[in-house]
Amino acid sequence: MDKPIIALVGRPNVGKSTLFNRIIGRNLAVVHNRPGVTRDRIYADTIRDDRGFRVVDTGGLDLSPDDDLIESVKTQVHTALNEADAIIFVVDVAEGMIPWDVEVAGLLRASKKPVYVAANKADNAKRAENTVEFYALGLGDPFPISAVNGTGVADLMDEVMAHLPEMTEVEEKEDLIRIAVVGRPNVGKSSLVNAVLGEERVLVDPRPGTTRDAINITFHRDSVGFEIVDTAGMRRRTKIFDDVERSSVGKAIESIRRSDITWLVIDSTRDIGQQDKKISSYIAKQGIACILIANKWDLVEKDHKTFDEYSENLRWQAPLLDYVPILSASAVTGLRVNKLLELTQIIFSEYSTRVTTHILNKAFRSIIAENQHPMVSGRRPTAKYITQVSIKPPTFAVFTTYPEKIQPHYERYLVNQLRDYFGFQGSPIKMKFLSTRSERTGRSKPSGDRR
């Protein structure tokens, strides 16, 4: 069966995200003392007392929204409540009970779900005593806790776990294709994720900066498991003056490092910017497979040459990703959205490809016979053999004389030839050049780790 779900709800700035991070044991949700930082619902799997379950952090619930974005947050919260097996209602003991808390308590009672009141910010004895006023909510005994230092959280979770549904079978850890969706603000990342999923899973708003957390979503398509992470828009560092945005961008960078494949989303109605180039460079240097998505293609005036000209300019602007497929798409109209997961699976297979040493060296002999390395300072590096040492990304060790003299243009030649022979579409290739002296001395002299 599916893992039971615990949803955290409450008004803005009561400490839901801090409690969420405390329960799962890592800093996944962005935490800040500004109200409204969490907007989307964020899921994380964790284990307690050998039992697996899922926790969902929700946006601060405002019963009287004053704009469309807050209304969307409210919709996200209600979705989380509908799928939850248990609800932790987080209130602020420092501020005390307010009419809003009473109104939300009525909604939670109507849900017929088990509800546990977490009276947060009970950081001292006096505040802990003030917890008694929350009995008036009619939701049972309130639990005085401090999400910041962990006080009382264990008692709260013991009670919640005691009433969670039991798992009927042991759930094995599933291998998922991890996708990070990245790009500048307002290029349509969240709209694209929603289009792929076929539901309004993450908030979409024309104002830049709607997504602040890295939103992890696990789903299956044709029996293949995916984890897609919608990240905050990444602006240039010199343009960031807000510590919430700085934290959000940091999580986006971490999502790239943890991914198998990155979808770099670009607004096709605008010229490629310096930040697009920096993001593409970071992806390449991290050795992550990639798809370049030219979103909003429905808004581009075009003829039969437009895509080829656009692609040529894009590859010239972002040369480090010259091996990456470019897909023109529209999250709004659904143009080519259905091809994204299919292409992702193909690239993941290439990213995970391991070539046997015999076949690899047969091709390699032809490659170096066709084009030998030029003389450098009276010496010619001569490659002897090659072996693949790892995957994700495909990484090769080339044993050669004078590895320190290998020229960048010849390395590019070898990489391009390996692509011609074996594919590796959308995947970077890493090369290591080692001295053949290791055969005689038992030592190798690497010339560096190159891509």
- Among residues 57, 53, 41, the alpha carbon closest in space to that of 217 is found at 41
Query: Is the model's pLDDT at 200 over the cut of 70?
Result: no
Paired tokens of 429 = 């290739």
Work out the average pLDDT over 204-210: 41
Confidence of residue 171 (pLDDT cuts 50, 70, 90): very low
Work out the average pLDDT over 108-119: 87
Task: Please answer whether residues 212 and 185 qualify as being in contact, where contact means their C-beta atoms are separated by less than 8 angstroms.
Answer: no
> What's the CA gap between 312 and 328, in Å, rounded?
13
Interval 261-299: pLDDT, tens = 999 999 999 988 888 888 888 898 889 999 999 999 999
Query: Is the model's pLDDT at 449 over the cut of 80?
Result: no
Which one is predicted more confidently, 323 or 255?
323
Q: What percent of the chain shows pLDDT beyond 90?
A: 46
| Domain 357-450 architecture | 2-Layer Sandwich (3.30)
> Poorest-confidence range of 37-51, 185-199, 220-234?
37-51
How, if at all, do strands 395-400 and 383-390 pair? antiparallel
Q: What is the pLDDT of residue 328?
A: 96
> What's the CA gap between 162 and 451, in Å, rounded?
52
> What's the CA gap between 341 and 175, in Å, rounded?
16
- Among residues 330, 329, 325, the alpha carbon closest in space to that of 343 is found at 325
> What's the CA gap between 165 and 179, in Å, rounded?
31
**Under 8 Å CB-to-CB from 440, ≥6 apart: which residues?**
none
Query: Is the model's pLDDT at 127 over the cut of 70?
Result: yes
- Among residues 223, 169, 224, the alpha carbon closest in space to that of 348 is found at 224
Q: Would you call the peptide bond into 393 cis, given omega within 30 degrees of 0 as the criterion?
A: yes
How, if at all, do strands 42-48 and 51-57 pair? antiparallel
- The pTM (predicted TM-score) of the whole model is 0.62
Question: Over the chain, what is the mean pLDDT?
Answer: 81
Query: Is the model's pLDDT at 398 over the cut of 80?
Result: yes
Longest Cα separation, the chain: 88
Which one is predicted more confidently, 10 or 88?
88
Residues in the chain: 451
| Domain 5-162 architecture | 3-Layer(aba) Sandwich (3.40)
Q: What is the pLDDT of residue 262?
A: 94
Report the chain's terminal Cα–Cα distance, integer Å.
43
- Chain region(s) in the chain for CATH 3.40.50.300: 5-162, 177-351
* CATH H-level, domain 177-351: superfamily: P-loop containing nucleotide triphosphate hydrolases (3.40.50.300)
Which one is predicted more confidently, 124 or 200?
124
> What's the CA gap between 205 and 106, in Å, rounded?
30
Task: Please answer whether residues 398 and 433 qualify as being in contact, where contact means their C-beta atoms are separated by less than 8 angstroms.
Answer: yes
Sheet containing strand 5-9, strands side by side? 42-48, 51-57, 5-9, 86-92, 115-120, 143-144
- Chain region(s) in the chain for CATH 3.30.300.20: 357-450
Torsional class of 396: left (φ above 0), alpha (ψ -120 to 50), beta (otherwise):
beta
In sequence order, what are the beta bridge partners of 396? 388, 431
